[in-house]
Amino acid sequence: MTDLPLELIFVVLSRLPVKSVLRFRCTCKLWRSLIDSSHFISFHLRNSLETNSNNLLIFRHDSDLHVVDFDTLDTAVEVVHPLMCYGNPLKVLGSCHGLICICNVAEDIALWNLSTHQHKIIALLPVERRPESDTSLFAARGYGFGYDSFSDDYKLLRISCFVDLHTRSFESLVKIYSLRTNSWKSIQRMPYALCARTMGVFVGGALHWVVTRKLELDSPDLIIAFDLKHENFKEVPLPEELGNENNFQMKVALLGQSLCMLANYQHTRVDFWVMKEYGHRETWCNLFILNQSPELGSLKSVKPLAYSRDGNKVFLELDHKKLYWFDLKNKATSFIQIPRMPSLIDGTICVGSLVPPALESKIDKHQQELEAKKEREAFLSEGFKLVL
């Protein structure tokens, strides 16, 4: 009969779902301080990401959010989010490390961890208006949310794209919010126009969108990456195999930990390309092809959400209302019905984590680590000995 050393308790706890970990905060003071430590929070997150576990599927339906445990796909549960919606739709601007960035019609933006129910309202940023707004103007806004490991900071990017339909010119203004400084700042303009108001895809320390250089019909689309560390834009080279082909509609998505590019050929066929090693053009590979079929219908809107835990299947959302597994081995699709799922869905995958929507200052962190170390040593000296 032996007790487990604290080091091993730490490792075992880090493999538990967020729900269980939060419950076990009530065990004793030592466990609570262990679970609350930033070291544990990042260890738990890393473990979830590496083992592709603890994933949550979030469906937005008008102003409501519904959550499903992706590991079990049992029942959709409505969750209470921190924003007032006044009957208008809620927008999901992005998600990273268990933090979801949401926005209401009044442009209030909240950073929210739905597992711990902690949230933070982000400082309001007035919406830009171009001064000479006398001509026919059309504006599109795109957001993206991600993590900059270099400065240990979460950042939200807003691209406001103003299009003049008469002269076919555009202007893309860019603002960036840093959680560490809790403020917005303007950065260089983006020399591209957004092709859709989709959320930026966070992969490899950068946010990605599909853009165009010129507002001409024959101007090809391309993928742009915004590097969160250097805060600049660069183009992502497309798979060499595509050559100059541009008879498809392009979309970007996150699949697993990789950047995924969807090439949609007239809604009849969609090629899923995955960049296996981020930043290396030669690692683009055609993962699979989805063809139109009587069961699937027209492939107007297709979105990959995640790999299955064993990596053999891909979870797909079709036309914002149907969910399928695509088996990579036998190329078969199977329809998935989740009890109590809303009829119209806008799915996002998000890892369940303990990450708080706030950053502690570096001094606090150091102080906390010292205290945690003291507490641990006191505990170990009380009669715990590692058998070695």
Partner 1 sequence: MSSSVEAITVLSSDGDEFKITVSAAKLSKPLNWMLEDVCFSDDCDEVPTIEVNSKTLVKVIEYCEKHAPRANSGASDSDAEELKKWDIEFMKMDVKDILFHILMAANYLHMEGLYDLACQTAADLMKGMTVSQIRKIFHIKNDFSSEEQEQLRRQHPGCSFD
b/e code 96-128 from CB counts within 10 Å (16+ = b):
bbbbbbbbbeeeebbbbbbbbebbbebeeeeee
When asked if residue 257 is in the footprint of partner 1 (CB under 8 A), the reply is no
Number of residues that bind partner 1 (CB under 8 A): 25
Q: Cα–chain-centroid distance for residue 133?
A: 34
Closest separation in Å from C-beta 328 to partner 1: 14
The least CB distance from residue 257 to partner 1, in Å, is 20
The span from the CA of 347 to the CA of 359, in Å, is 27
Q: Give the whole-angstrom CA distance, residue 124 versus residue 184.
A: 9
Closest approach of partner 1 to the CB of residue 170, in Å: 49
According to the binding rule CB under 8 A, does residue 72 interact with partner 1?
Answer: no
In sequence order, what are the beta bridge partners of 294?
none
Q: Which is nearer to partner 1, 31 or 184 (CB)?
A: 31
Q: Does 380 interact with partner 1 (rule: CB under 8 A)? A: no
Determine, following the binding rule CB under 8 A, whether residue 82 of this chain makes contact with partner 1.
no
Minimal CA–CA distance to 350: which of 23, 68, 20, 119?
68
Report phi then psi at 33, rounded to 5: -70, -30
Largest CA distance in the chain: 81
CB of 387 to partner 1, least distance (A): 5
Spatial neighbors of 85 by CB under 8 A, at least 6 apart, are: 62, 63, 104, 105
Nearer to partner 1, 14 or 104 (CB): 14
Tokens describing residue 143 = 């957001």
**Which C-beta is closer to partner 1: that of 8 or that of 370?**
8
Q: Does 43 bind partner 1 (CB under 8 A)?
A: no
Q: Does 267 bind partner 1 (CB under 8 A)?
A: no
Name which of residues 23 to 42 contact partner 1 (CB under 8 A).
23-29, 31
Residue 80 in contact with partner 1, rule: CB under 8 A: no
Between 9 and 287, name the residue whose CB sits nearer to partner 1. 9
Number of residues written out for the chain? 388
| Residue choice 174, 348, 352, 388 for contact with partner 1 (CB under 8 A) | 388
The answer to whether 105 touches 363, Cβ cutoff 8 Å, is no
Tell which positions 3-22 bind partner 1, by CB under 8 A.
3-5, 8-9, 11-13, 15-17, 20, 22
Which C-beta is closer to partner 1: that of 5 or that of 311?
A: 5
In the complex with partner 1, which residue's Cβ is closer, 39 or 267?
A: 39
Are the C-beta atoms of 34 and 41 separated by less than 8 Å?
no
**Nearest alpha carbon to residue 252 among 293, 215, 204:** 204
Q: Which residues bind partner 1 (CB under 8 A)?
A: 1-5, 8-9, 11-13, 15-17, 20, 22-29, 31, 387-388
